[in-house]
Amino acid sequence: MRGAKAFTLTFYPTFSSRKKNRPLTLSGTSMNAAVRATVRVGIYTGAKVYFVHEGYQGLVDGGDNIRQATWESVSMMLQLGGTVIGSARCQDFRSKEGRAKAACNLVKLGITNLCVIGGDGSLTGANEFRNEWSELLQILLKAGKITAEEAKRSSHLNIVGMVGSIDNDFCGTDMTIGTDSALHRIMEVVDAITTTAQSHQRAFILEVMGRHCGYLALVTALACGADWVFIPEMPPDEGWQDHLCRRLTYQRKIGNRLNVIIVAEGALDRHGKPITCDIIKNLVTKKLSFDTRATILGHVQRGGTPSAFDRILGSRMGVEAVMALLEATPDTPACVVSLSGNMAVRLPLMECVQVTKEVTKAMAEGRFEEAVKLRGKSFENNWNTYKLLAHVTAPDVKSNINIAIMNVGAPCAGMNAAVRSAVRIGILQGHNMLAVHDGFDGLANGTIEPMTWGYVGGWTGKGGSNLGTKRSLPASMIEEISLNIAKFNIHALVIIGGFEAFLGGLELVTAREKYEELCIPLVVIPATVSNNVPGSDFSIGADTALNTITTTCDRIKQSAAGTKRRVFIIETMGGNCGYLATMAGLAAGADAAYIYEERFGIHDLETNVEHLLEKMKTTVKRGLILRLVTLSHNLQMTLKCNANYTTDFLFSLYSEEGKGVFDCRKNVLGHMQQGGTPTPFDRNFGTKMGAKAVLWLTDKLKECYRHGRIFANTPDSACVLGMKKRATLFQPLSDLKEDTDFEHRIPKTQWWLKLRPILKILAKYKISLDTSETATMEHVIKKRGTV
């Protein structure tokens, strides 16, 4: 078996669930966040929890490999890479004799539920173990190793899986645990290499992991703006060598000082022959005489600190896995907990394994288009975006359409990636792309200039806003804006920004009644660290800010490791939206996160203080409190979650009440949350959103072309492009007004609020967990057809 790691949950006889006295076991490969969440939620539900060290090998060997876990034993795990309970490949588990030993160890502990965190090999092994469970019991009975009573008590085995694989090669889930962290490691190297490549005008070839799946290579190519990517799912066409050389030459011709080629380790040509870094290097060096370097990243991709996304994903999957096992019956098929959009879903394990194997079969038979589709919508969308940006040439005939792009509101990482993508897709559609500097002020003042392909070169990895951005709204300068739209003959508008972009779009739509020049299609792409734009569950820039906060919290917690008995109060940005505070709390393991959406008073503060006092009596001697703040228009920090309970007040309260038990420190993170290079998620998200926006505008312009001119005044001609649950949607600005709290600048419904109970449970607060909206079992075929 491929390496699987295990830990076990056995319910106390006093557990009051309808599944009382039923044993539960977990084994897993990869992420400590998933281990931590499952242990703590298991204990929360009344379970006795065991670690099974060294995966299936530990399950076979038993003894000290199966040890009871406590709440404190999973403390300080979130920031650790790898797995603290070990992982090992196990030949013994491949044999029935070995599986019988594993079954005996489980039966003796009264365990009838197993959760496996691993790849398709580990999950397939778990399902086989489940299918032959009754047979294994009979073998053990005949050998006298278990009693009839023990066999009766352990008559069935339930399975739930969580997918841990940096390759993201398991069908049925958008993202596997570990993939985002691997992308972070890769992009750190790519950014470093890009610097030297630009200095020396070099071509760089980078090999990333992915023997059978090109996800890492594909997303890396999108995130760094690579000139070419080689993936196993879609080998290049015949004659790719000449095509590659033409593309590299063209990039140098238009002024690019470097070329980047990404290669998945399993890349093949149409005849099944490997395409390696050395083959490409020799080709480029011999035919183009470019100074070329090759780098194989290797196992560096597997290490390092987990990203915020992976920590939250692991935590959510761990909670969902426990819920799935609680609800399982002997007839429930083994399931895998997956991610679809921002939703946790349950899918039949073997259906996912079957589809994963179908991908391999399709590639072997040369059905490459089908292989891409079988990977799922997320993979297919990435591939289609890459093809548009890297393999399509600009048409000779122009469309005579002018599309203007602007940034509005506070700057954030990923804005430049969205602009670059929008500009290049627009050029490929034959449009003229215009840069509007400094937001609506620039549109009013005529600070507008054309953008070429090379104008946005290298923008993907740059933070902030290269176009410049301001918070000004258009209402006070609407006449000047309308005049410049006419002067520059602007036919469509892309507005990239936060809540001000949303408000500005609404003001432009309202002004259409008076100014005909404003009757043009427009699209708003949410981009803000606050993640508070109506119409989208995610905003460009929020992931980068979240990782900045999480990394800082890790360092702050580490500083308390020596002194111990210390509580930190940390301010985060976010306006009235508690997204950053809540998600950073989940990712960093905070004890509390105070936000505007969840009002709190003196009783809540008293509960939090008492909680920390009790915590200090355990082996965990540190606490972390996150506090939501915002940046107001006069550039001073203004607390929004509660006007009276300020950070200084909280600091004084915790300092006073903790005297003799713990001391207190406070940290204001400030503008560092808005800076930095974009994360792989924000680069990829921004790239895809920019492309989708311009393609939508292209279609909308055709609809609005009447009598030789553009005239758009319908609600669906001014939209927000956002991700909602499982899909990206264009929603009319006017339709979103009902779901907007304009006073507090937040949507009225926010999906992440349902995750707050998980934050509190993982911090050991005694609260009720609402399970009314737990995921139901779906089917992979249906899911692939509807997402």
Active site residues: 167
Q: Does residue 174 have a known ligand-binding role?
A: no
529 annotated ligand-binding residue = yes
Structure tokens at 669: 């993170």
Q: How many angstroms separate the most distant Cα atoms in the chain?
A: 91
471 in a labelled binding site: yes
Cα separation, 218 vs 470, whole angstroms? 34
251 assigned ligand-binding residue: no
Task: Answer yes or no: is 671 a known binding residue.
Answer: yes
The answer to whether 265 is annotated as binding is: yes
User: Is 665 a known ligand-binding residue?
Assistant: yes
CB 419 within 8 Å of CB 466: yes
Instruction: Report the DSSP pairing between strands 622-631 and 746-747.
Output: unpaired
Are the C-beta atoms of 40 and 71 separated by less than 8 Å?
yes
Cα-to-chain-centroid distance, residue 300: 20
Ligand-binding site membership of 573 (annotated): yes
Q: How many CB atoms lie within 10 A of CB 588?
A: 24
Q: Phi, psi (5° rounding) for residue 347?
A: -130, 145
CA distances to 279, 354, 504, 679 from 510, in Å: 58, 53, 10, 36
Q: 750 among the known binding-site residues?
A: no
745 is in an annotated binding site: yes
Q: Is 76 annotated as a binding residue?
A: no
How far, in Å, CA of 351 to CA of 781, rounded? 8
Those residues with Cβ within 8 angstroms of residue 365's Cβ, 6 or more apart along the chain or in another chain: none
If 0-12 CB within 10 Å is exposed, 13-18 middle and 19+ buried, where does residue 709 land? exposed
Rounded CA gap, 720 and 741, in Å? 16
Comparing CA positions, the residue from 621, 694, 74 lying closest to residue 423 is 694
636 is in an annotated binding site: no
Q: Would the CA dihedral through 488, 494, 498, 500 be positive or negative?
A: positive
Q: Annotation-wise, does 245 bind a ligand?
A: no
Spatial CB neighbours of 315, under 8 Å, sequence gap ≥ 6? 33, 34, 36, 37, 586, 758, 762
User: Distance between CA atoms of 202 and 235, rounded to whole angstroms?
Assistant: 25
Q: Which residues 6+ apart lie within 8 Å of 327 measured at CB?
A: 774
User: At 658, which amino acid appears?
Assistant: G
The response to whether 616 counts as a known ligand-binding position is: no
Assess contact for 164 and 31: CB atoms under 8 A.
Answer: yes
Would you say 476 is a known binding-site residue?
no
- The residue among 161, 188, 181, 158 whose CA lies nearest residue 173 is 161
Q: How far apart are CA 757 and CA 761, in angstroms?
A: 6
Q: How many residues does the chain have?
A: 787
Placement of tokens 């084994």 in the chain: 27
* 300 assigned to a ligand binding site: yes
Judge whether 699 is annotated as a binding position. Answer: no
Q: 301 a known binding residue?
A: yes
d(CA 660, CA 656): 9
Single out the residue of 634, 625, 531 nearest to residue 576, CA to CA: 531
Per DSSP, 209 falls in state: S
Whether 302 has a binding-site annotation, put simply, is: yes
Q: Is 749 annotated as a binding residue?
A: no
303 assigned binding-site residue? no
**Which residues sit opposite 69 in a β-bridge?**
49
> Which helix (DSSP H) or strand (DSSP E) does residue 156 occupy?
none
Per the annotation, does 559 bind a ligand?
no
Side by side, which strands form the sheet with 343-348?
A: 66-69, 47-52, 6-11, 23-28, 113-118, 158-163, 335-340, 343-348
- 256 marked as part of a ligand binding site: no
Please indicate if the annotation marks 90 as binding a ligand.
yes
Taking phi over 0 as left and psi of -120 to 50 as alpha, with beta for the rest, 274 belongs to beta
165 annotated as belonging to a binding site for a ligand: yes
**322 a known binding residue?**
no
What is d(CA 361, CA 60) in angstroms, rounded to the nearest whole number?
32
Coil, strand or helix at 170: coil
Q: Is 531 annotated as a binding residue?
A: yes
The reply, when asked if residue 18 is annotated as ligand binding, is no
Residue 350 counted as an annotated binding residue: no
Binding residue ranges for substrate: 165-167, 202, 209-211, 265, 293, 299-302
Binding residue ranges: 28, 89-90, 119-122, 165-167, 202, 209-211, 265, 293, 299-302, 471, 528-532, 566, 573-575, 665, 671-674, 745
Binding residue ranges for Mg(2+): 120
Binding residue ranges for ATP: 28, 89-90, 119-122
Binding residue ranges for beta-D-fructose 2,6-bisphosphate: 471, 528-532, 566, 573-575, 665, 671-674, 745
